Structure 1
Amino acid sequence: MTDLTRKTTIAGGIALGLTMAGSAMAQDTTIRWALHPGAEADAVVNYFAPKYEEETGIRVIGEILPPNQLRDQMSIEAIGGTGRWDLGYHSPGWFGSFADHVVDLTPYIEEHGFDVNAYPELVVESHMLSDARPGEIIALPTTPAAPMLIVRRDWFEHPDEQEAFEAEFGRALSVPETWSELREVAGFFTRDAGETLAGETLERSVYGWADALGAGAGITRSFIVVLYSTGVSGWDEDFTPDIDNPIVVEAADYFVDLAQNTAPREAQNWGFLEGLEMFRDGRLATATMWPQGVGTVEDEAGSAAGNTGYAPLPMWEDNIAGLTQGTPFLGGGGVFIFDTPNSEEAFKFLKWMLQDNEIEWGKQSEQFSTSGHFASEELRNLRPYYPDFLPAYEQVLESVFIRQGIPEYGAVMWNGTTEFITDVFSGDLTAEQAQTRWVNEMTSAFRRAGYIE
């Protein structure tokens, strides 16, 4: 054997050894992800995890947990330092529980070229940044979602309905752009069985509007978007509550009137996404819909398929912040990386899934949040209703409120909203009484936390 042959053989052996070592290392790496049930989880478990293992040899195991146990289980494992999960579901209002247990993603973003600017500014602010870890990027968006308004377009465009509405209200029947217009439209379309709608006699009652009104999270999700649409933010930079503004009482009285007089009684038992079957089946003229529900609304077996219009939530007239459309909150749909030995490998998987396969992620999860999603002709052509839905949803994401900032947000704002609107809706307290209690409780919480003296 010549020296050249010997050197080539040795070099080949070293290269083979390195390849085998790398392969063995990949096969030994398992990334574990605590997932919230839904389209995101299904896409990870059924499509992206197997594909990534096929391409890299690295296993990704998605563990789908019950929604009511997810936060507590992740907290227990994180605080205990068990390393059970490398990735965890990120809901912005939860971050205070995990602030000490996740990695700063900034170095990984810079090294691997993750494009933060692909996301709308408010999605970045809500899902990637936190005052609890200033100067860091603490999570990535996966399927952030915000509610929007849907309407029965064919009813709005029917000549009989247009004529009757203009005769009653002195303006053209159109998709509501303000909450006061929504109240007029909802009242107009609320009809009993036996009455006529769009030229047909109704066999069942039709309601003008609906959203989740179930106790707790249901009614809170529904009312809080009206509250924030008034321009209220909760408190200012000095931790002085602004929920003492009279506009909060106006919003509460409006909401109770809308819910009790134009929504079905069944809505008072609804939570997230419940009740959209009623819209699908021709029982609702308008409704609030989270994007996860678009498949239900457009179910070909229902009467709403192909007849649904999409729009941002209405603007509150004379709001105190100069807002030009309704202001919903941005739901969960994020992922953070726990401080484990697999943190960089976990980030590389996320970058591969969310950006290297950006359009495929949109197709598989059927949730959209990046400029690439909204510009994609392939995605717009994926469903017959996407050309109407996607532009409207892109506009929704331009005006959302942020659910974090201080660890006490959940207690003072989310829970405060729940207590406020629940007591007003039930009649246990007037809006003024509930408002006074809320201001006092928020102020006391800020004093205990040391924000004010």
Structure 2
Amino acid sequence: MSLIKKMSWVGAVAGVALAGAAAWSPPASAESAAEVAVKAAQQYKGQTITIVWEAGLQALDPLNFSGPKWEELTGIKVKVVEVPIAEMFTKIMQDYRSGAGAYDALNVVPSWMPDLANAGALEPLDPYVEKYGYGPELQTIAPTYRDNQMKVGDKIFGFPDDGDVFVMYYRKDIFEDPKIKEEFKAKAGRDLTVPKTWAEFDEVGQFLTDKLQPKVYGASFFRQPPYTMFMFEERFRVEGGKFFDADTMKATINSDVGVKVLTDMRNENKFMPPGVEQFGFVENLAAFLSGQTAMTISWPPYGRWAAGYGTDEKALSWVPKSTIAGKVGYALPPGGHPQLAAGFSLSVSSTSKNKEAAYLFIQWLNSEDISMQRVMLPTALRDPFRDSHFTSTEYQNKWPEAKEYLATLGEGAKAGLADLSLLQTDKYEEVLRQMVGKLWGGEDPKAILDAAAAEWDAITDKIGVDKQKAAYNTWAANSGAYPK
């Protein structure tokens, strides 16, 4: 693609080929991790590795950029198996249990890692990291991703590879309008500012809706259960909640904090667009880009698309045309600890017949050199996750506000909260998704949470309290488990 610069080191390595399974020598210290991976991988020229990737835009990275470039550099073909994210865990486990070894490299949502690693489906990466000297570059991954999305126990099972983090987007032109500021101060007794607490969000959101209707609502969010589940996990912790009693493993989501969060979430729909309860990722995006809403929270792509970055690409033709380019500001969500919602880490299948080649591919993908190019792809949805991504001059010049955008992502990477990650995490998440549906259906928040907590307790009992307690306490000790 036109935005990708040809790598400066291609010429230096393109003519180097290692015959057959020739012994590989340790890298010279001056070589980058990308160069090391390319040189070592050339001994596998002519082979094919298969990688599982989320279907859709995400897969355009290996299909159109990284896969063809890897083949050009090493002679190794990359077969991309596209799988909807809702089916990825099951497909990976099915391949492992069958022993077929159909997959070599994997994209793994970090919260799945304990289940996959404990089952034996993931190859420990520590020996490869040491052999190919990748440790120093792993340290330049932003700490919150590195510390929460890489290891199970003391072993590395995946390389954090996607800086998924929630960001608040707001209309600067509205927040800076002198008349609106004057009227807000007269009513609230304070200056109009971007909300830093949920109480401020409620006050500002209601005021803007009252002031700007019928053209603009104060805010909107995606409200479909799979998305709202992440927003609940974040907000519950920001407001002081804990998921479990660490001693008994009894669920504590039905605490006073949980009831307050659900009650406030439902009340906030009143100053959002009609039908917001059905908003998904695209509906919420359309409302914001059309200028219908003054505030929203979502993943990093919203910020790029609001500025118009890359939306002229054919693959992004479905993205509504932005009417607010140049008017959007970026901030952390209220509470200052955004959810690192979903994301991906790169792993190697334990049943792969090409483990070394698969490892070298993911080291190359994840490296400083290549990841910088991948996160700037307009279509591929990989978001910045390395310290160097947030400070890249090239990226900061992609649109006028890109520097502020990247700085906010960097702040989120420092303060972010990791998704809950347990044994059989999805069973607990399914309860949360059902909980959200009941909330929009009008059921009582306390009754909803009491029922959800009882279901969580039943899941824990079935798995085994002691086993789940050990998994939870390991997760809770991580830097991104609860606000510090």
5+ unaligned residues in a row in structure 2: which ranges? 1-15, 23-40, 310-320, 470-484
Tell me the TM-score normalised to structure 1 length: 0.84
In the alignment, what sits opposite 1:426? 441
Q: Tell me if the contact between 1:328 and 1:399 (Cα under 8 Å) persists in the aligned partners.
A: no
* 1:437 maps to 2:437: no
In the alignment, what sits opposite 2:13? none
In the alignment, what sits opposite 1:277? 286
1:358 to 371, 377, 384: 371
Q: Tell me if the contact between 2:166 and 2:338 (Cα under 8 Å) persists in the aligned partners.
A: no
Q: Tell me if the contact between 1:362 and 1:379 (Cα under 8 Å) persists in the aligned partners.
A: no
Whole-angstrom CA distance in 1 between matches of 2:233 and 2:278: 18
Q: Within 5 Å, give how 1:159-174 maps onto structure 2.
A: 159-174=178-193
* 1:447 maps to 2:461: yes
Whole-angstrom CA distance in 2 between matches of 1:209 and 1:18: 58
Whole-angstrom CA distance in 2 between matches of 1:401 and 1:17: 44
2:353 to 341, 358, 361: 341
* 1:56 maps to 2:65: no
* 1:388 maps to 2:387: no
Whole-angstrom CA distance in 2 between matches of 1:77 and 1:254: 43
In the alignment, what sits opposite 2:259? 249
In the alignment, what sits opposite 1:47? 65
Q: Tell me if the contact between 1:228 and 1:327 (Cα under 8 Å) persists in the aligned partners.
A: no
Is the deviation greater in 297-306 or in 383-392? 297-306
5+ unaligned residues in a row in structure 1: which ranges? 1-15, 316-324
Whole-angstrom CA distance in 2 between matches of 1:247 and 1:404: 17
Q: Tell me if the contact between 1:313 and 1:328 (Cα under 8 Å) persists in the aligned partners.
A: no
Indicate how the Cα distance of structure 1 residues 368 and 280 shifts in structure 2: closer, same or farther if over 3 A, else same: same
Tell me the TM-score normalised to structure 2 length: 0.79
Whole-angstrom CA distance in 2 between matches of 1:24 and 1:387: 38
Q: Tell me if the contact between 1:229 and 1:328 (Cα under 8 Å) persists in the aligned partners.
A: no
In the alignment, what sits opposite 2:236? 227
Whole-angstrom CA distance in 2 between matches of 1:443 and 1:31: 42
State percent identity of aligned pairs.
23
> Shift of the alpha carbon at 1:445?
2.5
* 1:67 maps to 2:85: yes
Q: Tell me if the contact between 1:313 and 1:396 (Cα under 8 Å) persists in the aligned partners.
A: no
Whole-angstrom CA distance in 2 between matches of 1:374 and 1:327: 17
Q: Within 5 Å, give how 1:259-274 maps onto structure 2.
A: 259=269, 261-274=270-283
> Shift of the alpha carbon at 1:17?
11
> Shift of the alpha carbon at 1:124?
2.0
> Shift of the alpha carbon at 1:20?
7.4
* Matched pairs, number: 413
Residues 193-230 of structure 1 deviation map (CA, whole Å, 9 limit, x = unaligned): xxx74xxxx7x53211111112x313323333322222
Whole-angstrom CA distance in 2 between matches of 1:283 and 1:187: 14
Whole-angstrom CA distance in 1 between matches of 2:202 and 2:232: 14
Whole-angstrom CA distance in 2 between matches of 1:273 and 1:71: 24
In the alignment, what sits opposite 2:129? 109
Whole-angstrom CA distance in 1 between matches of 2:287 and 2:442: 27
| Counterpart residue type for residue 427 of structure 2 | A
Whole-angstrom CA distance in 2 between matches of 1:265 and 1:112: 55
Whole-angstrom CA distance in 2 between matches of 1:349 and 1:434: 46
Whole-angstrom CA distance in 2 between matches of 1:236 and 1:80: 37
Q: Tell me if the contact between 2:44 and 2:357 (Cα under 8 Å) persists in the aligned partners.
A: no
> Shift of the alpha carbon at 1:369?
0.5
1:86 to 104, 111, 121: 104
Whole-angstrom CA distance in 1 between matches of 2:55 and 2:237: 28
* 1:415 maps to 2:426: no
Q: Tell me if the contact between 1:89 and 1:334 (Cα under 8 Å) persists in the aligned partners.
A: yes
Residues 132-155 of structure 1 deviation map (CA, whole Å, 9 limit, x = unaligned): xx2211111221301111100111
Indicate how the Cα distance of structure 1 residues 24 and 233 shifts in structure 2: closer, same or farther if over 3 A, else same: closer
Residues 251-281 of structure 1 deviation map (CA, whole Å, 9 limit, x = unaligned): 111111012x122124322223542121111
> Shift of the alpha carbon at 1:97?
4.8
Indicate how the Cα distance of structure 1 residues 274 and 344 shifts in structure 2: closer, same or farther if over 3 A, else same: farther
In the alignment, what sits opposite 1:328? 339
> Shift of the alpha carbon at 1:38?
4.9
Whole-angstrom CA distance in 2 between matches of 1:127 and 1:262: 36
| Counterpart residue type for residue 421 of structure 1 | V
In the alignment, what sits opposite 1:8? none
Q: Tell me if the contact between 1:241 and 1:443 (Cα under 8 Å) persists in the aligned partners.
A: yes
Indicate how the Cα distance of structure 1 residues 38 and 311 shifts in structure 2: closer, same or farther if over 3 A, else same: farther
* Local SS of the residue matching 1:418: helix
Q: Tell me if the contact between 2:163 and 2:413 (Cα under 8 Å) persists in the aligned partners.
A: no
| Counterpart residue type for residue 354 of structure 1 | N
Whole-angstrom CA distance in 1 between matches of 2:148 and 2:420: 7
Indicate how the Cα distance of structure 1 residues 347 and 297 shifts in structure 2: closer, same or farther if over 3 A, else same: same
Q: Tell me if the contact between 1:122 and 1:397 (Cα under 8 Å) persists in the aligned partners.
A: yes
* Local SS of the residue matching 2:193: coil
In the alignment, what sits opposite 1:122? 144
Whole-angstrom CA distance in 2 between matches of 1:265 and 1:310: 25
Indicate how the Cα distance of structure 1 residues 448 and 358 shifts in structure 2: closer, same or farther if over 3 A, else same: closer
In the alignment, what sits opposite 2:298? 289
Q: Aligned-pair RMSD on alpha carbons?
A: 2.5
Indicate how the Cα distance of structure 1 residues 251 and 441 shifts in structure 2: closer, same or farther if over 3 A, else same: same
> Shift of the alpha carbon at 1:43?
1.8
Is the deviation greater in 73-82 or in 416-425? 416-425
In the alignment, what sits opposite 1:180? 199
Larger Rg: 1
